[in-house]
Chains A and B, each alone.
Chain A
């Protein structure tokens, strides 16, 4: 069917769908008058039972740790799928006929201000990312947000024009090993609960005192593993997108 037919059909059915949705939404409690019991129970009991102060991280990694395991598998599979899809196939000819050395001398570098600002921010960004990952159970943050912040640190190296260093960082086996360790560590920490006589992914490590860094039992451990997996996954995805661009740029001027 043509695109105008689709447009007209959609306007009709879309309006009907929106009307049904608005009728259904009137049954919800009013905006701002949250009624349900689970939120109040969680807010009241998490600090005493798990000795952490960030309830959202406790929900993600302790009360509903199995959902986060499923979500990490989605992340891992998407990274694998992206790398497989963007790999060079058999018909690619851009690598077969150029064997030159990858010299970096003739590429026009970005301006001085960009280079100074980007390279100067790499160190603080790594420290900030590690802070967000490890303090996820005390203040807002956690493995996911900290992992994404950590993954933008090699990207700043690319923005500053240092392509060889970015390729060395992102193409290293260290990135793949970190991602595998992140997922495998999450899975194995679950088995720790079964070994010590309780259920899978149960919080069995000593809980510590509220407000200190080493508190919350397995929540800190799972935070670190998730941060490692997310950071390495994002770096792999970015390198898969940038791989051919870097090869062509490094070889064009060499």
Chain B
């Protein structure tokens, strides 16, 4: 049962990727990308967890009480803010595509075909 967090992280990655591959709407695609990014947060935070540890804040607890790993928290924190701005940029791209071509389906955009 201790492999469950990693399994959930892998499952979220696969299901997010499935949503991107079989998407018929750009807005749906960007939301599946958000799910995909959140799978990495689950994996990183599960790696840094310690059983019986408290949060890495020593305002009331004295230094030396067991705490979880703060390095992983810093990585995930900046990652969440970057996710918000990347989603904003992708949404403005989707709006522009809709303005220029009139539909939102990835398969029907002729200019993107290789």
Contacts and interface: CB of A to CB of B under 8 A. Distances in A.
A28 B67 contact: no
Contacts of A14: 14, 17-18
A53 B57 contact: yes
Contacts of A113: none
B82 A75 contact: yes
Interface in A36-64: 36, 38-39, 42-44, 47-48, 53-56, 59-60, 64
Contact of A7 (B22, B71, B77, B88): B22
Interface stretch (A76-84, A121-129, A180-188, A198-206): A76-84
Interface in B25-50: 46-50
B86 to A, nearest CB: 6
Nearest to B86: A78
Contacts of B92: 81-82, 85-86, 240
B78 A55 contact: no
Q: Which of B77, B95, B107 has the most CB of A within 10 A?
A: B77
B74 interface: yes
Contacts of B6: 22, 25, 28, 31
Interface in A229-246: 230, 233-234, 237, 240
| A contact patch SS | helix
A53 B61 CA distance: 10
Contacts of A71: 78, 81-82
A81 B87 CA distance: 12
Interface in B83-102: 84-86, 88-89, 92-93, 95-96
Interface residues of A, number: 56
Interface stretch (A94-102, A138-146, A216-224): A138-146
Contact of A33 (B5, B18, B50, B82): B50
A53 B58 contact: yes
Contacts of A64: 74
B89 to A, nearest CB: 5
B112 interface: no
Given A25-B10, A31-B49, A75-B82, A144 B77 contact: yes
A139 B18 CA distance: 39
A21 B13 CA distance: 10
Nearest to A10: B21
A10 B22 contact: yes
A144 B86 contact: no
B59 A34 contact: no
B88 A53 contact: no
A192 B73 CA distance: 27
A139 B57 CA distance: 7
Given A55-B70, A60-B74, A86 B95 contact: yes
Nearest to B67: A43
A252 to B, nearest CB: 20
B85 A74 contact: yes
Given A34-B47, A59-B73, 8 more contacts: A7-B21, A31-B49, A32-B49, A56-B74, A67-B78, A75-B82, A79-B85, A148-B84
Interface of A: 3, 6-7, 10-11, 14, 17-18, 21-22, 25-26, 28, 30-34, 36, 38-39, 42-44, 47-48, 53-56, 59-60, 64, 67-68, 71, 74-75, 78-79, 81-82, 85-86, 138-140, 142, 144, 148, 211, 230, 233-234, 237, 240
